Amino acid sequence: MTTSRRLADRKIQKFQKNITKRGSVPETTVKKGNDYPVGPVVLGFFVFVVIGSSLFQIIRTATSGGMA
Protein backbone atom coordinates (compact mmCIF):
# COMPACT_ATOMS: atom_id res chain seq x y z
CA MET A 1 0.00 0.00 0.00
CA THR A 2 1.27 3.40 -0.83
CA THR A 3 1.29 6.27 1.61
CA SER A 4 -1.49 8.15 -0.17
CA ARG A 5 -3.69 5.02 -0.15
CA ARG A 6 -3.16 4.60 3.61
CA LEU A 7 -4.07 8.24 4.21
CA ALA A 8 -7.16 7.89 2.05
CA ASP A 9 -8.24 4.75 3.96
CA ARG A 10 -7.74 6.52 7.29
CA LYS A 11 -9.85 9.47 6.12
CA ILE A 12 -12.58 7.14 4.86
CA GLN A 13 -12.71 5.34 8.23
CA LYS A 14 -12.95 8.65 10.06
CA PHE A 15 -15.74 9.78 7.75
CA GLN A 16 -17.63 6.52 8.28
CA LYS A 17 -17.48 7.02 12.06
CA ASN A 18 -18.97 10.47 11.63
CA ILE A 19 -21.85 9.09 9.58
CA THR A 20 -22.77 6.63 12.33
CA LYS A 21 -22.77 9.46 14.92
CA ARG A 22 -25.35 11.55 13.07
CA GLY A 23 -28.42 12.37 15.11
CA SER A 24 -26.77 11.85 18.49
CA VAL A 25 -26.31 15.56 19.11
CA PRO A 26 -27.62 17.03 22.37
CA GLU A 27 -30.93 18.90 22.09
CA THR A 28 -29.41 22.22 23.06
CA THR A 29 -25.88 23.42 22.70
CA VAL A 30 -26.40 26.36 25.04
CA LYS A 31 -25.21 25.59 28.53
CA LYS A 32 -27.82 26.14 31.17
CA GLY A 33 -26.62 28.11 34.13
CA ASN A 34 -27.32 31.14 36.21
CA ASP A 35 -25.05 33.49 34.28
CA TYR A 36 -26.25 37.06 34.26
CA PRO A 37 -25.81 39.24 31.19
CA VAL A 38 -24.21 41.94 33.38
CA GLY A 39 -21.67 41.64 36.16
CA PRO A 40 -22.51 42.06 39.84
CA VAL A 41 -20.68 45.41 40.04
CA VAL A 42 -22.72 46.92 37.20
CA LEU A 43 -25.92 45.51 38.67
CA GLY A 44 -25.07 46.93 42.10
CA PHE A 45 -24.31 50.34 40.62
CA PHE A 46 -27.60 50.33 38.71
CA VAL A 47 -29.57 49.44 41.87
CA PHE A 48 -27.70 52.14 43.81
CA VAL A 49 -28.55 54.79 41.22
CA VAL A 50 -32.22 53.79 40.95
CA ILE A 51 -32.85 53.53 44.70
CA GLY A 52 -30.75 56.61 45.44
CA SER A 53 -32.58 58.75 42.92
CA SER A 54 -35.97 57.58 44.18
CA LEU A 55 -34.98 58.39 47.79
CA PHE A 56 -33.69 61.78 46.69
CA GLN A 57 -36.99 62.47 44.90
CA ILE A 58 -39.02 61.47 48.00
CA ILE A 59 -36.95 63.72 50.24
CA ARG A 60 -37.19 66.58 47.78
CA THR A 61 -40.96 66.19 47.51
CA ALA A 62 -41.36 66.02 51.30
CA THR A 63 -39.30 69.16 51.94
CA SER A 64 -41.07 71.20 49.26
CA GLY A 65 -44.48 70.49 50.79
CA GLY A 66 -45.70 68.14 48.09
CA MET A 67 -45.85 70.78 45.37
CA ALA A 68 -43.71 70.20 42.35
Q: In the predicted model, is pLDDT for residue 22 greater than 90?
A: no
- 3-class secondary-structure state, position 51: helix
On whether the CB atoms of residues 68 and 61 are closer than 8 A, the answer is yes
Domain boundaries, the chain: 38-68
Question: How far, rounded to the nearest angstrom, does the alpha carbon of residue 37 sit from its chain's CA centroid?
Answer: 6
Q: In the predicted model, is pLDDT for residue 19 greater than 60?
A: yes
Task: Report pLDDT digits (tens) over 30-62.
Answer: 666 666 688 889 999 999 999 999 999 999 999
Looking at residue 27, what is its pLDDT? 64
Looking at residue 48, what is its pLDDT? 96
Number of H helices, E strands in the chain: 2, 0
Per the model's pLDDT, the better-predicted residue between 46 and 19 turns out to be 46
pTM score, whole prediction:
0.42
Distance CA 22, CA 6 (A): 25
